[in-house]
Structure 1
Amino acid sequence: MRVYRGRADAVDADRAVSERLVERVAADREPAVRVWRPHRQVAFGRRDARAERYDEARAVAGERGFPTVERDVGGRAVAYSGSTVAFARVTPVEDPRSGLTERYDAATADLLDALKSLDVDAREGEPAESFCPGTHSVQADCDGRARKLAGLAQRVRADAAVVAGVLLVRDHAEIAAVLAPVYEALDVPFDPETVGSVAGAGGEGEPDAVVEAVERALVEGEPASASIERAG
């Protein structure tokens, strides 16, 4: 198991790092984990890009100080404030038609373990009208109501599978504020009150501590020992 740390100097370069990671796992057949803090941005999914008012959604994000990018997986728009944590576990596969559920279950369990170590009592699921709605999500109680903290997605190639996700550490109010007009432009139901964070749920609000906890959980979820490499 390899662990890749750090981010590149620009959004496009950061995405290239993740793609190189997938190619390396596919070539050498050794699993890898990367946990990092993406640059400030709103990342749109492929479904968003087909929306009639997509250009408007991008414009309102930019007006609020969030550069926009498109990611190559499904799902809806996600905002990264600079404190938000992204994670990916890449594993080689022999049969791309099998193992989907098992990989999701393992990653979700590891994420819940990481949140527990950060003093957050989290659980699977999400409130209605959450950001980037999906079956594989994690929520916790913040200020007396359930709020979404994380979402997971999976991309499977013929030779490698990537289970990736986003975890909100803090800045949930700022993230809700930019996503509200973005989702309105995309004509997707969204309730800003469903946006939560690790800090909002009473947990550790220091992003680097969250990175370490998630990295540790994802690596210990695999039997192999870890070797550390810089992601750049």
Structure 2
Amino acid sequence: MRVLRGRAPTRDEDRTVTAEMLADTAESGESAVRVWTPHRQVAFGRRDARADDFDVAKSVARACGFEPVERSVGGRAVAYTGTTVAFARTVPLSDMRTGMEERYVETTRAVQRALWRVGVPAQRGEPPRSFCAGDYSLQWNGKIAGVAQRVQSGAALVSGVVVVDDHGEIAGALDPIYAALDVPFDPDSVGSVARAEGDADPERVAAVVEELLVGDASATVEVVGRDDAETAPSKASRAAEPAED
């Protein structure tokens, strides 16, 4: 399994890293995991892009200090502050029609166990009128994590977000954005590891999520932006070693 760490210098380059990870899995048949803190942005989903006032929503995002981008996976808008943790796991597929539920469940359970390890007793589900509502969300004093999936020929991408801190800032930005998109939203539904009184160090959260997504697989680590790779550290040391930002 490939493990990618760190982020590219720009938003566009960073998004390309994950897209290429999916393409590489489809071609090589090798799974990959990436857990990192994306650049500050609001990522809009396909349904958002079809909204009548999508341009207004993008302008609101900019006014709130978030660069708007469009993504090909997931539902509604999600805000990343720079400390928000994103995760992506790619798996090879022989049949696009099978395994979707199993991939959702496996990934959600891994993220849930990671949250438990950082002191958050997260449970499946989400409060009403949450951001990017979905069936595979985790909550504790607000929605903390969500999971989405994209399937293409040869590979699937299961990805999502963990809100580490800045829940107030995220809620404050998403409130007018969702209003512009005419989507119900309750600012108090936004949770975070910090709000749940867990260990809100983004590097620690990323390292633990990575460890649980990798599991017992034999892995090689690749640092984004570098051509060299190294053998992954042992399972015990991975949890202690922070993911690069």
Structure 1 distance, partners of 2:105, 2:200, is 26
The counterpart of 2:158, out of the listed 136, 152, 163, is: 163
Q: CA deviation at 1:158?
A: 1.4
Conserved? CA contact 2:42–2:80, under 8 Å = yes
Q: CA deviation at 1:169?
A: 0.3
Structure 1 distance, partners of 2:185, 2:137, is 15
The counterpart of 2:212, out of the listed 217, 222, 228, is: 217
Conserved? CA contact 1:47–1:74, under 8 Å = no
Conserved? CA contact 1:32–1:89, under 8 Å = yes
Pairing of 1:18-33 with structure 2 (within 5 A): 18-33=18-33
Say which SS state the counterpart of residue 172 (structure 2) adopts. Answer: helix
- Does 1:173 pair with 2:196? no
- Does 1:70 pair with 2:70? yes
- Does 1:190 pair with 2:178? no
Structure 2 distance, partners of 1:90, 1:73, is 13
Structure 1 distance, partners of 2:224, 2:152, is 21
Q: Give 1:191's aligned amino acid.
A: D
Q: Give 2:50's aligned amino acid.
A: R
Q: Per-residue CA shift, 1:50-101, capped at 9, x if unaligned?
A: 1111111111110111010000124000000000000011000100100000
Q: CA deviation at 1:114?
A: 0.3
Conserved? CA contact 1:137–1:151, under 8 Å = yes
Give the alignment's Cα RMSD to 1 decimal. 0.8
Runs of 4+ in 1 over 3 A off after TM superposition: none
Match of 2:228 in 1: none
- Does 1:154 pair with 2:149? yes
- Does 1:89 pair with 2:89? yes
Match of 2:98 in 1: 98
Match of 2:120 in 1: 120
Q: Per-residue CA shift, 1:134-192, capped at 9, x if unaligned?
A: 11111013xxxxx1001100001110011000110000000000000000000000000
TM-score by length of 1: 0.95
Q: Give 1:36's aligned amino acid.
A: W
Equivalent pairs, count: 225
Match of 1:107 in 2: 107
Conserved? CA contact 2:74–2:149, under 8 Å = no
State percent identity of aligned pairs: 55
Structure 2 distance, partners of 1:50, 1:184, is 15
- In structure 1, the gaps of 5 or more residues are 142-146
Match of 1:144 in 2: none
Conserved? CA contact 1:120–1:140, under 8 Å = yes
Structure 1 distance, partners of 2:158, 2:50, is 24
- Does 1:138 pair with 2:131? no
Say which SS state the counterpart of residue 9 (structure 1) adopts. Answer: coil
Say which SS state the counterpart of residue 90 (structure 1) adopts. Answer: strand
Structure 2 distance, partners of 1:26, 1:75, is 23
Say which SS state the counterpart of residue 69 (structure 1) adopts. Answer: strand
Q: Per-residue CA shift, 1:94-150, capped at 9, x if unaligned?
A: 001000000000001100110011011001000110000111111013xxxxx1001
Q: Per-residue CA shift, 1:11-68, capped at 9, x if unaligned?
A: 0000101111111111111111000100000010011011111111111110111010
Conserved? CA contact 2:96–2:151, under 8 Å = yes
- Does 1:43 pair with 2:46? no
